[in-house]
Amino acid sequence: MHSLILHNDEIVGAADNCTSPGQTGLLNGWGVFSTLRVRGGVLFAFERHWDRLRRDAKLLRVPMPARPEWLHGRLLNLVEANRAFDATLRVAIVRNQGGPFEGPGITRTFDLIAFTTDLAQWPDSVSLGMKPHARHAANEFAGVKTMSWAFNLAWVEEARERGFDEVVLLNERGEVSECTSANIFAIEGDRVWTPPLDSGCLPGVTRAILLEEVRVPGVTIAERSLLPHDLELAECVMITSTTRDLLPVRSVEGLRVREEGRPVREALLQALLEFRKEYTTRAAMRAAVSQFTNG
């Protein structure tokens, strides 16, 4: 974490005491969050992150800022303060009131907390463990990115103690859902499959961009229910997230994973990087025009 964080309207020191034990969201994990990629000072795919935050907040009854511009401007202030122009940014909206443990004197309905950190250095490939019954696809809160993240943290810590980098989470039907902090894709020839949202997986931003924006000639990307056996049949397995991009999987617990489909993964990765470059270029130009017009 960098030395400065965003707390509501203020940039404060990361070690400063700016929260209260009486904030019910902090005590109960009652809030939503998202992790963004900052490239060239631009918040990549901010609109998608905002839409997901707003959707999840509505489901969890977490108050949200009324306008995306309010949040966007404050996050850019944090990026500027930390000089974090190529970094990772985590933003959380914390509910402050409600429940039996609300502290006295708290007038704000929510707190905005955000911080930046250096880009993670991921390995060239990952090894995945397997965790049955880790997602309940029928739950109304399946796929919500809630601050109550302890299950995921415990599972990935256990996986690493067992020699894995991450873990495949299966739902109550034994289907592949996702990893603790990544979506999963299986490449079969010129077709690329990822579990549908009704598998209980989180609607990741990188996942959505691959499904809706990225185009590679001759390659089709779509949703399909996957069983663990389908990962073994695939020519390549990869996991995706805002911080990982498209990371190949070298092994899955109990399965034999193939790697013949890596050229397709490389083509998809290049298309994703080009999409991000074009997005950030357009966003930077819009910001420059706006500053010139308003200045």
Domains and CATH numbers, the chain: 4-117 (3.30.470.10), 126-276 (3.20.10.10)
pLDDT, residue 293, reads 58
pLDDT, residue 289, reads 64
Query: What single DSSP character describes residue 197?
Result: G
**What span, in angstroms and rounded, lies between the C-alpha atoms of 24 and 102?**
5
Length of the chain (residues): 295
Using a pLDDT cut of 70, give the percent of the chain over it. 97
How big is the chain by its Cα radius of gyration, in Å?
Answer: 20
pLDDT, residue 65, reads 93
Count of other CB atoms within 10 angstroms of residue 254: 9
* Three-state secondary structure readout of 37-57: EEECCEECCHHHHHHHHHHHH
pLDDT, residue 36, reads 97
**φ, ψ dihedrals at 259, nearest 5°:** -135, 15
> What would the mean pLDDT of 248-254 be, rounded to a whole number?
95
- Tokens linked to 272: 């994703």
pLDDT digits 0-9 by tens, 184-237: 999 999 999 999 999 999 999 999 999 999 999 999 999 999 999 999 999 999
Q: How confident is the model at residue 261 (pLDDT cuts 50, 70, 90)?
A: confident
- Tokens linked to 213: 């924006």
Q: What DSSP string runs through 137-177?
A: TTSTTTT--BS--HHHHHHHHHHHHTT-SEEEEEETTS-EE
Count of other CB atoms within 10 angstroms of residue 173: 14
pLDDT digits 0-9 by tens, 29-76: 999 999 999 999 999 999 999 999 999 999 999 999 999 999 999 999
**What span, in angstroms and rounded, lies between the C-alpha atoms of 198 and 210?**
18
Question: Within the chain, what is the greatest distance between any pair of CA atoms?
Answer: 61
pLDDT, residue 291, reads 62
pLDDT, residue 295, reads 59
Q: Order the strands of the 126-135 sheet from edge to edge.
A: 176-179, 166-171, 126-135, 245-252, 236-241, 183-188, 191-194, 220-223
Instruction: Determine which helix (DSSP H) or strand (DSSP E) holds 291, and give its type and residue range.
Output: helix 262-294
CA angle 170, 265, 182 (to 5 degrees): 35
